[in-house]
Structure 1
Amino acid sequence: MPYRSTEILRADAGHPVPIDVIVLAHDQRHIRRKLLHMQHDDVVMLDLREPVMLAHGDLLLLEGGGCVEIIAAEEDLYAVTPRDRLHLVELAWHLGNRHLPAQIEAERIVILRDPVIGAMLKGLGAEIAEISEPFHPMRGAYHGTGGHGHHHGHGHHHD
């Protein structure tokens, strides 16, 4: 019988010692209800009231005691380095215009590897490096459970 969890303790809260870990990619961490496999073959039935975005280090509190830690999986990414701060803003705008998940930092932007987007960014003057590390994209203003949750007429601009 699987463990069951209906509560999350955020990474920045005090930490009990976890009994195991669950490794999830960024797109697997937006979740409400799912069977999750721990590294040592046990299963947790996560059953939350509403969808959440789990962060690296969050703990799933188990009914009956104990907890399991969420670990962000390493993913194949591009580190995008701009010429300067203004160029970083320009590159972020181009990525946001395409609704791509992005981890925006002070000196770089991290995105999932995509050769077409990589070529576009190089064409805009960015340096691109292939990296493999946990991916922590920014949460959007619209994070519903289906699609991207907003409507503003893609491709139907009225001047």
Structure 2
Amino acid sequence: MMIERVIGNVRETVNLPRHIERVYLRSELLLKRIQRVRTDHGNELGIRLKNGVELRDGDILYQDEKNAIVISVLEDEVIAIKPTTLKQMGEIGHMLGNRHLPAQFTDEEMVVQYDYLVEKLLQELDVPYVCEKRKLAQAFKHIGHSHG
């Protein structure tokens, strides 16, 4: 079966069928437009999305009255950084920005992929953080940049 569009997302859909097959993906694969995947029931699918379309956790790839195929994102090792002051946030943001690390933000924290060098830096600067496994709704995106 070839999937060329996302039908919806389980967070926004009320009427899901009883039988749901899952496609488990690492978060970085959410950014791939074209890929071959296998459901937890062993069914193989091809995904070919239009440019600019990215997969998200809970996306519905297929649905009929009895079955649905849904994306489920696997947990990532992340560091959740929880600065206590604006100055601390600015300093750590600047240092991590120089490393071109992709980050995600909430009102309380900055989340980056786990890296032992980042953990060491946070310890040296005495910045509060937590290392944990977390299911990310979206993939980390690298922003192209050079120091040319």
TM-score using structure 1 length = 0.73
1:9 pairs, out of 7, 15, 27, with: 7
Partner of 1:102: 103
Instruction: Flag structure 1 segments of 5+ consecutive residues without an equivalent.
Output: 143-147
Residues 30 and 54, structure 1, Cα contact 8 Å, conserved in 2: yes
Partner of 2:75: 74
SS at match of 2:123: helix
**Is 1:46 the equivalent of 2:44?**
no
The one-letter code sitting in structure 1 at the alignment partner of 2:79 is: Y
Residues 28 and 140, structure 2, Cα contact 8 Å, conserved in 1: no
Listed as ranges, the matches of 1:95-134 within 5 Å are 95-134=96-135
Shift in Å at residue 59 of structure 1?
1.4
Give the structure with the higher percent strand. Answer: 1
Instruction: Flag structure 2 segments of 5+ consecutive residues without an equivalent.
Output: none
Q: Percent sequence identity over matched residues?
A: 22
The one-letter code sitting in structure 2 at the alignment partner of 1:17 is: L
**Is 1:20 the equivalent of 2:21?**
yes
The one-letter code sitting in structure 1 at the alignment partner of 2:5 is: E
Cα distance in 2 between the residues matched to 1:102 and 1:75? 13
Taking only aligned residues, the RMSD between alpha carbons, in angstroms, comes to 2.7
TM-score using structure 2 length = 0.78
Cα distance in 1 between the residues matched to 2:70 and 2:105? 25
- Structure 1 residues 31 and 118, CA, compared in 2 at 3 Å: closer, same or farther? same
Greater RCO between the two (CA within 8 Å, min separation 6)? 2
Cα distance in 1 between the residues matched to 2:68 and 2:90? 40
Tell me the number of residue pairs that the alignment of Structure 1 and Structure 2 aligns.
143
